[in-house]
Amino acid sequence: MTPAAEDDRLAAIAELLRKADALPGAAAPVALGEHMVEAARVPRRHRETLLRLTPMELTCVRFLGWGRSNADIATLLLISDNTVRVHLSNVARKLELDGMRELAALAGLLFYPAD
């Protein structure tokens, strides 16, 4: 995929997220630890488990949702790359996801900025 096509795809996703966030009658934002997420972005099947994640796991997922690499997350949180991998693996296991790609997609849905 060309960089321009990727930018167009991300712009389309951001537009869909903005529309979902602005739906009339949408439920109040959900507090995932210290992070507030629009309720329309939180899949019902994962809601209870997401509420039970540790603050460090949620922070790693948030940075992943922003498109950060494991090395970037490790640098930002002052932990090792391996620790980031462990946190993300634990999240994928707790949410019963098939792997890191599915976790990255969920993280993007939850935390990708719509503006």
Close Cβ partners of 12 (under 8 Å, ≥ 6 residues apart)? none
Tokens of 33: 């630890």
- Say if CB 14 and CB 59 are below 8 A apart: no
Name the pLDDT band for 61 (thresholds 50, 70, 90).
Answer: very high
Give pLDDT tens digits for 86-112: 999 999 999 999 999 999 999 998 988
**CA angle at residue 53 from 15 to 115, to 5 degrees?**
15
CATH class of the domain whose range is 3-111: mainly alpha
**CB 17 within 8 Å of CB 114:** yes
Q: Are 114 and 11 in contact (CB under 8 A)?
A: no
For the residues 13-40, what does the mean pLDDT come to? 76
Neighbours of 44 (CB within 10 A): 7
Domain ranges of the chain: 3-111
